[in-house]
Structure 1
């Protein structure tokens, strides 16, 4: 049983599944979300509307009173009612690109900044930021999806950079970005047709796989981009 887990972005499809998984395992679970708290008395739910850094800092400080040993950052947007992923650069909208950076890079960066002191001091702390295989530059053979690919590549660099800085002060920390695999959530819903058999996973199955990656994570892996099965992916 994991003693304490913090899930940032816990109202997302995968974040919610991780919350349910760890609650079922008997862990002490804290969630940070823009959404108001659900009726789950065994859950510490902290709402953060992201209206100011000071307020987010207060929320983080409250979450850290639970002394989490594992932290997941699950914030991210692939598409919304305003735009779908681009098939060509001719479809690129700078406002959409800015919005994707805000969701996929700026929000995680803010939380990582606020978590920095804790990450530097907590022995054997594990932090996993949900990224995407399409954010791997080395693995990109198809192109397209400009805003999402660019922002997830930037998130991977953010995690790499932070792992180096934290590693100088806490040799036991493990900070990684992880590709969760194709999961049956609203994020992947428009892209589920013609998937190979077995590729689409339920949120519960994805949460179980990610929890297994977290359990086996070591400081030697810090700074890596990992697949849902724990294997190393190219940058």
Structure 2
């Protein structure tokens, strides 16, 4: 049974995924700036670099060499990247824009850093492993609001744009990956609205039954991962496996 790498494992969804796979008896590599608040003999922890330093990607070559050594050792066949950001309660307070007048360079830069640049940083760093590993599955958490064709409500300019860019990046990378590894699957995945710190300020007006617990979300995403085929590489998938439009 192959191991699972979870990037951004200290997030609500990342932590729930880690616990899910540990309960299945699989080895989990927990990659995060924050260590796990629980222990398990099958849990391996790797400390991630500060996201603010990712602009100088060359300086992290040693970090990725150690990560690739770990995933090779444990024969990782499944990777989730759970990194994402939506709002900041500390000063300066930052939140998704309701109107264009609320947009700012500070909000846009941080949104792009944590929803696009950091995920791309990990994708590029793990690329040597992805192109050589048969049957590898890489699921990048994204968001349905990044779908341009689905946008009927407006608002959330920075977040929508960052997720749309992420979806396009993964789509483009999937085409390149297919040339080297036709058995690989690289997709973006909308996890649904999960009860977490990220969604907490925006839960008030949700329809009944739409909010999922982290455990429920992890179960759904694990099912999508289990069913994922190489032919689906490049798609934006919903938490229930449905294909979403770009």
- Normalised by the size of structure 1, how large is the TM-score? 0.96
Q: Distance in 2 between matches of 1:106 and 1:120?
A: 21
Q: Which residue of 1 aligns with 2:97?
A: 86
Using the alignment, how far apart are the partners of 2:68 and 2:38 within structure 1? Answer: 23
Q: Cα–Cα, structure 1 residues 48 and 59, in superposed 2: closer, same or farther, change >3 Å? A: farther
Match in the other structure for 1:193: 204
Partner of residue 146, structure 2? 135
Matches within 5 A, 1:49-88: 49-50=49-50, 51=53, 52-64=59-71, 65-81=73-89, 82-88=93-99
Change (3 A) 1:180 1:37: closer
User: Structure 2 vs 1, CA of residues 91 and 59 (structure 1 numbering), >3 Å: closer, same or farther?
Assistant: farther
In 1, the alpha carbon distance for the partners of 2:218 and 2:78 equals 14
Pick the aligned partner of 2:156 from 140, 145, 163. 145
2:56 aligned residue: none
1:55 & 1:190 partners in 2: Cα distance? 38
Please report how far the alpha carbon of residue 35 of structure 1 lies from its aligned counterpart in structure 2 after TM superposition.
1.1
The answer to whether the 8 A contact 1:136-1:234 is kept is yes
Q: Which runs of 5+ in 1 are unaligned?
A: none
- The answer to whether the aligner puts 1:95 opposite 2:103 as a matched pair is no
3-state DSSP of counterpart to 2:13: helix
Give the count of matched residue pairs. Answer: 234
- Does the 8 A contact of 1:48 with 1:55 survive in 2? no
- Deviation of the 1:195 alpha carbon: 1.3
- CA deviations 1:47-74 (Å, max 9, x no partner) are 0123442353244224323221100000
8 Å Cα contact 1:130-1:179 kept in structure 2? yes
Indicate yes or no: 2:55 matched with 1:44.
no
CA contact (8 A) 2:10 2:36 kept: no
Residue in structure 1 matching 2:195, options 176, 184, 202 = 184
Gaps of 5+ in 2: 54-58
CA change 1:199–1:119 in 2 (3 A) is same
* Alignment-derived partner of residue 27 in structure 2: 28
The alpha-carbon deviation at position 89 of structure 1 amounts to 1.0
